[in-house]
Amino acid sequence: MYEKLKTSLIGAAAVLALAGHAASAAEWRGWNIHVEGYPNTVAMDKFAELVAEKTGGEITLQMFHGGTLGNQPDAIEQVRLGALEIGNFNLGPIGPIAAEANVVSLPFIFKDVAHMFRVLNGEGGAKIAEGMAAKGLIPLSWYDAGARSFYNGTKPINAPADVAGMKVRVMNNDLYSGMISELGGNPSPMAFAEVYQALKTGVVDGAENNWPSYESTGHFEVAGYYSLSQHLIIPECLCINADVYNALSDAHKAAVKEAAVESAELQRELWTAREATSRKMVEDSGVVTNEIADKGPFQAAMAPVYETYLSANPELRPLVELIQTTN
Ligand code: BDP
């Protein structure tokens, strides 16, 4: 009896101490996969600085860059569960958790980056955000991640037949595996950090990414043909654990939201510049780039990927149509 009482008193004291701590100052931890100097890294550091500034130091954020706190699918789980508060995530690996967010991973769904942002800033973005929030992740703002294209170590890709038989690394998402299979290749889902070695040792023949990641990871050193398929235009979020955000005071909510929006503005500016410098850097080092004259056959091959997604999520057909009809 006494032991029980003691235990519950200690428990209550701990809860009070925690609550007191939370009310006075919160220390958050944030995850980011990218290296120093990468647009997202700079923008996440800016976010941390702005959060501290706008909350008068009542909320501070320690950023962990370079994926040091684990791979992306694990980090997404950590933020959903509240083991981490903040993350800069690509919507690719969020898709398997929130079907609404997976719509952005349908190949060729966006015409270009501007189209993607028009969708995100409208009803489509609200629907995606709602789906994510229901899974414990609130997107505070959207980052640019450009368009992803194929690269490999042996030849330029101009038609689906060039992908046939190739082992291609993709992010963890069945839509991407389906995409590679429909082109006749063999998909190999793998964590970002493992791709360089896999390309180098021939575990995979190729991969796909935007210019800045192709450059920052050194993949261009071991896979020197970059073919502008631009098959995926996937946004990224500055995401927060939903319970953490919902428990904030209105003033703190506004401060954190503002900081995220300002961080995204900076990220997009840096992104545009980095796309150009990364491209120039890899081309100067000898990478062979090719435009794909006719992307029609790649797009046509994606019909089964859309069908699979829509038959698993028939209620999301209006969202797909909304995106396709957004100008
Ligand atoms: C980069 C994204 C990053 C992904 C990576 C990947 O910014 O979030 O982890 O691609 O391919 O462009 O895994």
Predicted model pTM:
0.92
- Regarding the beta carbon of 241 and ligand 1, being less than 6 Å apart is answered no
Pocket test for ligand 1, best of 171, 173, 176, 230 (most atoms within 8 A of CB): 171
Give the nearest ligand 1 atom to 72 CA: 9
Nearest to 283 by CA among 209, 195, 181, 215: 215
| Higher-pLDDT residue of 140, 23 | 140
pLDDT band at 24 (very low <50, low <70, confident <90, very high): low
The CATH number of domain 148-233+286-325, selected from 1.20.1090.10, 3.40.190.170, 3.30.420.240, 3.30.465.10: 3.40.190.170
CA distance 110 to 222: 29
- Name residue, tokens 């261009």: 220
Query: What digits encode the pLDDT tens for the residues 59-106?
Result: 999 999 999 999 999 999 999 999 999 999 999 999 999 999 999 999
How many angstroms does the Cα of residue 129 sit away from the middle of ligand 1? 20
For residue 300 the two structure tokens come to: 């046509």
Ligand 1 atom 8 nearest Cα: 90
CA nearest neighbour of 91 among 111, 121, 116, 55: 116
> So what's the pLDDT on residue 8?
52
Q: So what's the pLDDT on residue 16?
A: 46
Centroid of ligand 1 to alpha carbon of 192 (angstroms): 6
Q: Would the pLDDT of 194 be above 90?
A: yes
For the segment 211-226, what is each residue's pLDDT rounded down to a tens digit?
Answer: 999 999 999 999 999 9
CA–CA separation, 136 and 156 (whole Å)? 41
- For the chain, the average pLDDT equals 94
The residue contributing the CA closest to ligand 1 atom 9 is 192
Ligand 1: nearest atom to the Cα of 210:
12
Ligand 1 atom 6 nearest Cα: 192
Chain region(s) in the chain for CATH 3.40.190.170: 26-144+235-277, 148-233+286-325
For residue 210 and ligand 1, the question of a CB distance below 6 A is answered with: yes
What is the whole-number distance in angstroms between the Cα of residue 234 and the centre of ligand 1? Answer: 10
Q: Does domain 26-144+235-277 have CATH number 3.40.190.170?
A: yes
- pLDDT more than 90, % of the chain: 92
Identify the pLDDT of residue 14.
Answer: 46
